[in-house]
């Protein structure tokens, strides 16, 4: 049975690689509270010295205890910018320091660690974007059984994090006695590592650069296509060597500026 399971995983990984699509999984990291109860310390806000409030944002994730959560065999995965970070077990909390700006956060429910390939998801719980500001603290509440008391004031009624199991809640709601203060820290345990409780700022910055460059390269192609349609540019053909030289494009300047800004950022890390 185990050999068959691992062969299926290997086949899925091969398909993902050949197709060039994302593979969502938390294999070996997904046990729920029934298998690995949370044993960390009681909740306390992290010290101001543990994050840079002047430049970055702090995000807490928590999940209160319940019979449902205590009986869970596999815990849902939390993703930030399409990267799996941790699995949120019942009666737990953790935190992340993130780069300000628009961050994509998702929750997926695994089946033996597998969660999806490309656009296919076994159980996509929530997937949405949230705008983070430097120096601000945010609270994400995960609960399948109850809803928070009212919507977060910054969210519209149809926002992905205003409804469902994973919601952005206000500090006042999060700090109620039976909410965040009632849970324990999601410390790493055998077969249940916590890859949160750290800064993801550098990773966020690198991901932002890759995303921006992909968008700028597509914008450049669109600009060339528009010039070709206007007769101002003749694109090269494999059978005809007399193509027009590529003109100076507005997107070329934007690409140079984005690369220069990222180079300065990488240099500042040293």
Per-residue model confidence as pLDDT tens digits over 77-88:
999 999 999 999
Q: Is the domain of 192 the same as that of 210?
A: no
Task: Count how many Cα atoms sit within 13 Å of the Cα of residue 97 in the half-sphere of its side chain.
Answer: 18
Q: 222 and 191 in one domain?
A: no
Flag whether 2 is in a domain. Answer: no
| Total count of residues recorded for the chain | 270
Closest C-alpha among 175, 100, 183 to residue 139: 175
> Do both 81 and 182 map to the same domain?
yes
- Distance between CA atoms of 94 and 88, rounded to whole angstroms? 8
Domain boundary among 169, 199, 229: 199
Query: Residues 137, 228: one domain?
Result: no
- Report the number of distinct structural domains present in the chain: 2
Residues 58 and 99 in one domain: yes
- Domain final residue, candidates 157, 174, 199: 199
Side-chain-side CA neighbours of residue 204 (13 Å)? 20
Which residue among 147, 173, 199 closes a domain?
199
In the block, tokens 């921006």 appear at: 212
Domain range for 242 is 205-269
* 222 belongs to a structural domain: yes
194 and 265 in a single domain? The answer is no
**Helix, strand, or coil here: 19?**
helix
Measured at the CA of 64, the angle between CA 63 and CA 65, to 5 degrees, comes to 120
Are both 155 and 61 inside the same structural domain?
yes
Instruction: Say if residue 30 is in the same domain as residue 136.
Output: yes
Q: In a structure prediction context, what are the per-residue pLDDT tens digits for the chain, which is 270 residues long?
A: 455 554 555 555 555 544 557 889 999 899 999 999 999 999 999 998 999 999 999 999 999 999 999 999 999 999 999 999 999 999 999 999 999 999 999 999 999 999 998 888 888 999 999 999 999 999 999 999 999 988 999 999 999 999 999 999 999 999 999 999 999 999 999 888 889 999 999 999 999 999 999 999 999 999 989 988 888 777 766 666 655 567 778 999 999 999 999 999 999 998
Whether residue 48 is found in the same domain as residue 155: yes
- The answer to whether 108 and 77 have CB atoms below 8 angstroms apart is yes
| Domain-embedded: residue 12 | no
Looking at residue 245, what DSSP letter applies? P
Assigned token pair, 66: 């319940």
């Amino acid at each position: 049975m185990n050999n068959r399971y691992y062969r299926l995983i290997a086949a899925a990984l091969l398909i993902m690689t050949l197709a060039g699509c994302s593979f969502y999984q938390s294999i070996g990291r997904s046990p729920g509270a029934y298998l690995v109860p949370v044993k960390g310390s009681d909740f306390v806000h992290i010290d101001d010295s543990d994050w840079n409030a002047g430049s970055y944002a702090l995000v807490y994730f928590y999940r209160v205890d319940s019979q449902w959560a205590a009986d869970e065999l596999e815990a849902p995965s939390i993703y930030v910018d399409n990267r799996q970070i941790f699995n949120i077990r019942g009666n737990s909390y953790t935190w992340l320091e993130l780069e300000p700006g628009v961050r994509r956060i998702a929750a997926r429910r695994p089946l033996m660690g597998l969660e999806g390939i490309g656009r296919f998801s076994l159980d996509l719980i929530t997937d949405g974007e949230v705008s983070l500001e430097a120096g601000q603290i945010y609270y994400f509440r995960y609960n399948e059984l109850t809803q928070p008391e009212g919507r977060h004031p910054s969210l519209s009624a149809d926002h992905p994090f205003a409804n469902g199991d994973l919601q952005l809640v206000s500090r006042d709601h999060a700090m109620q006695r039976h909410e965040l203060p009632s849970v324990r820290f999601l410390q790493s345990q055998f077969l249940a590592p916590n890859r949160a409780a750290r800064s993801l700022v550098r990773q966020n910055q690198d991901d932002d650069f890759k995303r921006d460059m992909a968008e700028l390269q597509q914008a450049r192609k669109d600009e060339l296509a528009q010039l070709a349609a206007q007769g101002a540019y003749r694109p090269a053909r494999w059978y005809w060597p007399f193509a027009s030289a590529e003109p100076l494009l507005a997107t070329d300047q934007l690409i140079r500026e984005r690369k220069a800004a990222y180079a300065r950022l990488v240099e500042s890390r040293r």
